[in-house]
Amino acid sequence: MYLRIDRLQIELPQPKEADPNAAAAVQELLGGRFGEMSTLMNYTYQSFNFRGRDKLRPYYDLIANIATEELGHIELVAATVNLMLTGTTKPGDPESAPLSPAVNLRNTHHFIGTAQTAFVGNSMGAFWHGDYVFSSGNLVLDLLHNFFLECGARLHKIRVYEMTTNPVAREMIGYLLVRGGVHATAYAKALETLTGVQVTKLLPIPNIENSKFPEARKYEAMGVHRRLYRFSPEDYREIAKIWRGPAPAGDGDLEVVDGPPAGGPVPDLPEVPEEFAPGLAPEEIAEIAKKLAAS
Ligand code: MN3
């Protein structure tokens, strides 16, 4: 089961202006083939379906624990899309076509389907699907797949970074490049303990260090690239049997941190009356608040 904390894994900057076309590109990192929905659901189903858990506990713990971190990653990318869409349109009577700024934007579903928020789909508007989940039951093959998935995710993050200078997008991408690097390394190390093959030598894919990206460099300076957070009050302790030893960058030892990162607030999204979202007048909200206080 899951506990939930009403915080994002990092603090996102407040955007100065709307950037809806860049938000459409960022959707790829949420609901694309290599997006956070895919990492989340691959590791989640592999943990559900794991055979021989008691004998292979460190591998089960690793997959289950990283899956839980990925829940916070879909949350973070969704918050990024939401912040980037905020302010694209202004309130107005329907007759004045207040949503007309959206008509020539790349993703009109953001304006028709979700009231200027994230959806579970990619940068071209195609919805994410379960066919992206690989859960073969063969531990080495599943781990190899996960290593591949993290490398593909890294390639797409870097390409989206190259598409936009938006500070909210780049803050999120910088952090997730570092976390994805941890996950790729963790799966590589797991494969090494099982097979003896030095998979970490393949990294980084693509061949550019995270330190080339200022927003990632900041998190590396904090040691985030050496930490595997244990996302449970009591469980998944055996990740420490895989996540240990010197960091690949040679700048210290890998460490398991008990509990999640301190993170930052979940941004409050303003009302968008021209979308009827949330669709309550100020006096109705005041009336509801009065009722809730009384009961
Ligand atoms: Mn991730």
164 alpha carbon, distance to own chain's centre: 18
Ligand 1 midpoint to CA 287 (Å):
41
Write the DSSP symbol of residue 114. Answer: S
Measured in Å, residue 268 CA sits from the centre of ligand 1 at: 23
Predicted confidence at residue 44, as pLDDT, reads 98
Pair 142, 46: CB distance under 8 Å: yes
Q: How many angstroms separate the CA atoms of 177 and 61, rounded?
A: 22
Residue-level pLDDT at 281: 87
Q: What pLDDT, on a 0 to 100 scale, did the predictor assign at position 279? A: 94
Residue 244, pLDDT score: 98
| d(CA 30, ligand 1 centre) in Å | 9
Q: Which CATH architecture has domain 7-294?
A: Up-down Bundle (1.20)
pLDDT digits (tens, 9 = 90+) for 202-223: 999 999 999 999 999 999 999 9
Torsion over CA of 96, 101, 105 and 108, rounded to 10 degrees? -40
Q: Which protein residues have a CB closer than 5 Å to ligand 1 (ion)?
A: 39, 70, 73
Alpha carbon of 148 to ligand 1 centroid (Å): 13
Q: How far apart are CA 20 and CA 117, in angstroms?
A: 10
Q: With a cut of 50, which residues of the chain have pLDDT below it?
A: none
pLDDT of residue 208: 97
**Do residues 164 and 200 lie in contact, with contact meaning Cβ atoms separated by under 8 Å?**
no
The structural domains of the chain, with segments of one domain joined by +, span: 7-294
Give the residue among 203, 193, 197, 196 at the shortest CA–CA distance from 148.
Answer: 203
- Kindly give the distance from the C-alpha atom of residue 7 to the centroid of ligand 1, in angstroms, as a whole number: 16
Residue 277 backbone phi and psi in degrees, to 5: -130, 120
What's the pLDDT tens digit per position in 229-282? 999 999 999 999 999 999 988 999 999 999 999 999 999 999 999 999 999 988
Q: How far does the centroid of ligand 1 lie from the alpha carbon of residue 79, in Å?
A: 14
Per-residue DSSP letter, 98: T
Distance from Cα 59 to the centre of ligand 1, integer Å: 18
